[in-house]
């Protein structure tokens, strides 16, 4: 039972997932979120654990794979690899592409295992605590997730909030779970069951990206990126010990950002990069010109973030990022309710996920150091062939969710919507989180109101009089205070430390 993740089928799927994930992550235009959402639709008929083994492999491989194209062609393969371009590509330009890939691989694996350790240590006590959570606490957590996606997504906060708000509205479409009346259904029976989440994600991350890319390809021709020469890959593990302090700091940032509902690997990597830039006094080269530390920090943080993201997912049923939002819906599709009770009643599922993710990290290590050269060719595949094929898979995958042609129409509709959002600078990630977090916030807000019999002052009193609620309220309010963003907190801590050092 405990070693179920080691069954031959699950091991094989884990390996396959990691390999496919690296390819998906390394190909700009294919996102991990889209890949996992497509798999969620396809593996509907599979055993839950078998499906999870495959998806966790893709998750781990994809977050790592983004570094490949960052280093080799200066285009982040996934948003979480953006920070890796700052120094990874300059390294490649200096003829150190092999070293950069090697370092990225080792650090991703190390970050992955630290994240896993954090998950194993933190999840059981948090789930114990979560059993005491009242509906108002879940409301606060969901509201926190919604406001953090706006606060941290980079770019315009107002635009991220619009994305999250539209996502919430999409999530609310359908029959109200308490009164049974239709909300935003406009009397259409098709809408009473709501919009299928996976269909929306495939549209927002798959079809919209295709439309966007086609627009660019036709305008500017196929941009054949200049690919750096790849030298020896073996990283020299001496680097590992040399950069251990950066590694530890980046891991901590990754885990914490991951564990916050709504904030994912892209933010973790950028914060870790900024942190390394400020704390490393003598980098191997100036940052931005090929500093090894500039690859170590973001690559450690984005993989450490995976373990962090899974903490709220497994203990509270609240997604840490867009991919875990998809994983939550996978658990729902398979008839499981992610939350503290799942942790208590199905301990083996938790250990299966932890074990399977650990296994994926081991595969990541070997695949990451293997076959770098032929791999580059695959990543540089002609987009004019690839993009139409993505549409095909998106259409079929969406249909596969529940054999419903309307899901396909929704998927295409969200694809077109997502394209216009991208043009206007409205990120689609917060929208995906909104679809999951919105209904959670709504139902728990109303349960909390029922619990106080509609007495609003009593509701606010409970927010500050119960210790758990008080802590969550303070965190939620601090997310709205402009000077207390995550960056602000980092700055505050740093300033205090400098003062202490000076004194």
Among 445, 462, 476, 479, contact with other proteins (rule: CB under 8 A): 445
Give the integer Cα–Cα distance in Å for 342 and 350.
Answer: 8
DSSP string of 376-418, one letter each residue: HHHHT--HHHHHHHHHHHHHHHHHHHHT-HHHHHHHHHHHHHH
DSSP H or E run through 93: helix 82-93
**Residue among 419, 430, 435, 437 that touches other proteins (CB under 8 A):** 419
15 forms part of the interface with other proteins (CB under 8 A): no
Structure tokens at 456: 């609003």
Q: DSSP letter at 204?
A: I
Cα–Cα distance between 299 and 171 in angstroms, integer?
A: 33
In order of 113, 244, 251, 328, 395, the CA distances from 248 in angstroms are 12, 6, 5, 29, 43
45: contact with other proteins by CB under 8 A: yes
CB of 420 to other proteins, least distance (A): 8
**Residue 54 · residue 14 · CB < 8 Å:** yes
Among 217, 225, 274, 336, binds other proteins (CB under 8 A): 217
Tokens of 173: 């479409």
| Span from 59-67, 209-217, 303-311, 352-360 in contact with other proteins (CB under 8 A) | 209-217
Stretch that binds other proteins, among 91-99, 104-112, 273-281, 418-426 (CB under 8 A): 418-426
Nearer to other proteins, 159 or 347 (CB): 159
Q: How many residues does the chain have?
A: 503
Report the residue from 399, 470, 478, 487 that binds other proteins according to the rule CB under 8 A: 399
Is-contact 86 288, C-beta < 8 A?
A: yes
Please spell the DSSP secondary structure of 132-154, one letter per residue: T--HHHHHHHHHHHHHHHHHHSS
Contact with other proteins (CB under 8 A): which of 212, 352, 357, 414?
212
The least CB distance from residue 218 to other proteins, in Å, is 4
Q: Closer CB to other proteins, residue 43 or residue 108?
A: 43
Hey, which residues between 169 and 198 contact other proteins (CB under 8 A)?
Answer: 169, 172, 176, 178-179, 181, 183-184
Q: Does 442 bind other proteins (CB under 8 A)?
A: yes
Site for other proteins in 354-393 (CB under 8 A): 382, 384-385, 387-389, 391-393
Q: Mask 250-289, x = binds other proteins (CB under 8 A)?
A: ----------------------------------------
d(CA 391, CA 382): 15
Q: Is 336 in the site for other proteins (CB under 8 A)?
A: no
CB–CB of 228/92 below 8 Å?
yes
* CA-based end-to-end distance of the chain: 57
Binding to other proteins (CB under 8 A): which residues in 100-159?
155-159
Angle at 430 between CA 401 and CA 416, to 5 degrees: 60
Let me know: does 186 contact 173? Beta carbons within 8 Å.
no
Looking at beta carbons only, is 43 or 473 nearer to other proteins? Answer: 43
Q: Which parts of this chain interact with other proteins (CB under 8 A)?
A: 42-46, 155-159, 161-162, 165-166, 168-169, 172, 176, 178-179, 181, 183-184, 207, 210-212, 214-219, 382, 384-385, 387-389, 391-393, 395-396, 399-400, 403, 405, 408-409, 412, 415-416, 419-420, 422-425, 438, 441-442, 445-446, 449-450, 454, 456, 459
């Amino acid at each position: 039972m405990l070693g179920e993740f080691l069954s031959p089928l699950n091991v094989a799927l884990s390996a396959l997932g990691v390999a496919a994930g690296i390819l998906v992550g390394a190909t700009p235009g294919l996102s991990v979120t889209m890949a996992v959402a497509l798999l969620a639709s396809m593996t509907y008929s599979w055993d839950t654990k078998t499906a999870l083994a495959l998806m966790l492999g893709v998750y781990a491989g994809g977050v790592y794979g983004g570094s490949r194209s960052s280093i080799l062609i200066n285009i982040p393969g996934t948003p979480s690899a953006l920070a890796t371009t700052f120094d990874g590509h300059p390294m490649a330009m200096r003829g150190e592409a092999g070293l950069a890939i090697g370092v990225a691989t080792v650090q991703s694996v190390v970050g992955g295992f630290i994240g896993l350790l954090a998950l194993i240590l933190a999840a059981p006590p948090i789930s114990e605590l979560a059993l005491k959570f009242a509906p108002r606490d879940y409301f606060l957590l969901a509201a926190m997730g919604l406001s953090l996606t706006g606060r941290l997504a980079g770019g315009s906060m107002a635009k991220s909030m619009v994305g999250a708000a539209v996502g919430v509205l999409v999530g609310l479409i359908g029959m109200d779970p308490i009164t049974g009346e239709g909300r935003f259904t406009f009397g259409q029976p098709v809408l009473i069951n709501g919009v299928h989440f996976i269909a929306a994600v495939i549209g927002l991350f798959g079809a919209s990206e295709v439309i966007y890319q086609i627009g660019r390809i036709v305008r500017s021709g196929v941009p054949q990126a200049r690919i750096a020469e790849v030298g020896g890959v073996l990283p020299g593990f001496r680097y590992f010990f040399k950069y251990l302090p950066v590694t530890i700091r980046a891991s901590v940032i990754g885990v914490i950002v991951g564990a916050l509902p709504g904030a994912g690997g892209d933010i973790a990597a950028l914060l870790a990069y900024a942190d390394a830039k400020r704390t490393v006094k003598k980098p191997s080269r100036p940052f931005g010109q090929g500093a090894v530390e500039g690859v170590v920090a973001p690559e450690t943080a984005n993989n450490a973030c995976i373990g962090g993201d899974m903490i709220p997912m497994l203990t509270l049923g609240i997604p840490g990022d867009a991919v875990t939002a998809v994983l939550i819906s996978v658990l729902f599709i398979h008839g499981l309710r992610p939350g503290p009770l799942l942790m208590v009643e199905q301990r083996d599922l938790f250990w299966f996920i932890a074990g399977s993710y650990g296994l994926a990290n081991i595969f990541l290590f070997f695949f990451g150091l293997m076959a770098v050269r032929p791999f580059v060719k695959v990543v540089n595949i002609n987009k004019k062939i690839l993009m139409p094929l993505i549409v095909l898979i998106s259409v079929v995958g969406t249909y596969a969710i529940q054999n419903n042609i309307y899901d396909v129409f929704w998927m295409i509709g969200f694809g077109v919507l997502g394209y216009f959002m991208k043009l206007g600078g409205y990120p689609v990630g917060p929208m995906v989180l909104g679809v999951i977090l919105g209904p959670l916030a709504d139902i728990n807000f109303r349960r909390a109101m029922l619990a106080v019999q509609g007495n609003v002052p009593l509701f606010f009193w409970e927010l500050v009089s119960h210790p758990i609620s008080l802590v969550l309220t303070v965190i939620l309010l601090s997310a709205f205070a402009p000077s207390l963003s995550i960056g602000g907190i980092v700055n505050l801590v740093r300033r205090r430390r400098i003062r202490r050092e000076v004194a």
